[in-house]
Amino acid sequence: MANQLHLDAQSFSRYRNKRSQWDQMQEIRSVYGYKNFTDKSTHWRFIRWLYARAWLYNERPSVLFDLATARCIEQKILLPGVSVLTRLVSTVRDRSAENIWKKLSSLPDNVQKKQLENLLQIDQKTKKTYLERLSNPPVTISVTGIKNTLIRLQELRQLNTENWDMSRIPSKRLQQFARHTVAVRAQAIARMPDQRRMAMLVAFAKMYTQSAQDDVIDIFDRYLTDLFAKTYRKEQKERLRTIKDLDKAACQLREACVILLEHTDPSVHPKTAVFEKISEKDLIQAVQIVDSLTYSPNQTLAYSGLLQHYGTIRKFLPLLMEEIELQATPAGLPILQAWNFVKEHGKSNKKRWKNAPLAGLNANWSKVVIDKDSGTVNHRAYTFWMLEQVLEALHRHDLYILGSEKYGDLRAQLLQGKEWKSIRPSILRSLDWSIDSYESLTVLCKQQFLKNAEKIPEARSYFFKC
């Protein structure tokens, strides 16, 4: 071996000393830039990264262990023993969870805490806990289902969660806590430590109050869609039933048109020639039948049949407008004005409906909403048009509901101001980015210069400063 390495054989005697092995290890670390896991600064930065990861995401210990191992390799940190890293991962996960429990449990006051504790009590009517009843939204697509969904929203809002400041708590962790609260039996939650039990109930109350608004809109959307489809199918059946009358009237009108087109005798008036074949009474009746049994090719809704359900809609519409507070982007302001008008004038007399905002009213709805003779507004047709437009605007996010997950303001989901400043360090640490933007840009600047220098050899001779 000495000959192969061109070394003196006597020098190998030094390797018998155990101290030489440690010296070699230390030399390898210094040459290749490896750091000890127990170094104070290295260990502190690693724990901060691990805590930020555990704070933002509720990852399984095995996943977090693999990520921590990859982090050590990436940062040239000598790997500790498996048991050491396992204990550290477990400790950091527990510490982050305890801190979240502490923050959540401190949000409600004493009255709210008592209300939350009552969620674990059993309702004597349903033989279920209030927590179980509130966690399951009604699924019946009917007026009763919509009413029950609105009542559920009222009960959740009585917990007064809107004043809780959760800007420092990751939304994903809140969702995970809320789902876990629903999945676990109420008896198990009642046996939890006070701090954890309260944190679970707070997360449930906050997240399910938000989702309850979405449940109301979802059921109402499906109900109105089914109502429109049912009315259209009924109209189609009615048209099929009267198709013979329509065919007869169309044939009479065709015959009258043929007579007019083929009429060439100037001594006979065209009307007289028509009435000789078809009586005036039959012709007028044929026109009336065609008017009653046909509609515009662009019309996809049976408006006359739909208006018969106005009384059904009014059974829940006032409560819906009271509980759901809509906001609008600039594109949705006309629809919001129509919503507010119906909300204020739902029970007013017909005279006040003359001032109803009509922006966005298409031609088909206009024929039904506005009487062509008097110019008055049909409040029933106007209400159905408004509801259709509101649902379409909610799906486009031209209208939004404050605090809603599905129908909220997309612009508000961008972190701004204090919320972004509070969570920014954790996000940057989880992405392994420096908090100092100048430091990050300096590294990128140098990397780009070296990349360009490889392409242009002459550039190596120039002085470059970031």
Residue 182 pLDDT > 50, yes or no?
A: yes
403 Ramachandran zone, left/alpha/beta (phi>0; psi -120 to 50) = left
What pLDDT is stored for residue 278 in this prediction? Answer: 79
With a threshold of 0.75, does the pTM exceed it?
A: no
**Position 2: which residue type?**
A
CB 140 within 8 A of CB 118: no
Residue 447 pLDDT > 60, yes or no?
A: yes
The structure tokens 């909300």 sit at 343
Distance CA 435, CA 420 (A): 13
Across 16-54, b (16+ Cβ under 10 Å) vs e yields eeeeeeeeeeeeeeeeeeebebeeeebbeebeebbbbbb
Q: Highest mean pLDDT: which of 118-132, 195-209, 351-365?
A: 195-209
Distance CA 70, CA 109 (A): 43
Q: What is the mean pLDDT of the chain?
A: 82
Tokens found for residue 395: 């799906």
Taking only the tens place, the pLDDT of each residue in 56-101 is: 888 889 999 999 999 888 888 888 889 999 999 999 999 998 999 9
DSSP H helical ranges for 356-466: 363-369, 379-396, 417-430, 437-455
Q: Highest mean pLDDT: which of 80-94, 296-310, 337-351, 404-418?
A: 80-94
Name the pairing type of β-strands 122-123 and 128-129.
antiparallel
Taking only the tens place, the pLDDT of each residue in 17-27 is: 666 667 777 77
Residue 300 pLDDT > 50, yes or no?
A: no
Distance CA 176, CA 204 (A): 10
Closest to 255 in 3D by CA, of 268, 228, 274, 242: 274
Count of CB atoms within 10 A of residue 79's CB? 12
Distance CA 53, CA 37 (A): 18
Distance CA 465, CA 227 (A): 70
Closest to 209 in 3D by CA, of 399, 408, 406, 404: 404
Could you tell me which residue, 395 or 16, shows the higher pLDDT?
395
Distance CA 37, CA 79 (A): 7
Distance CA 465, CA 446 (A): 8
Q: Where along the chain do its domains lie?
A: 25-105, 110-229, 242-293, 301-402, 413-461
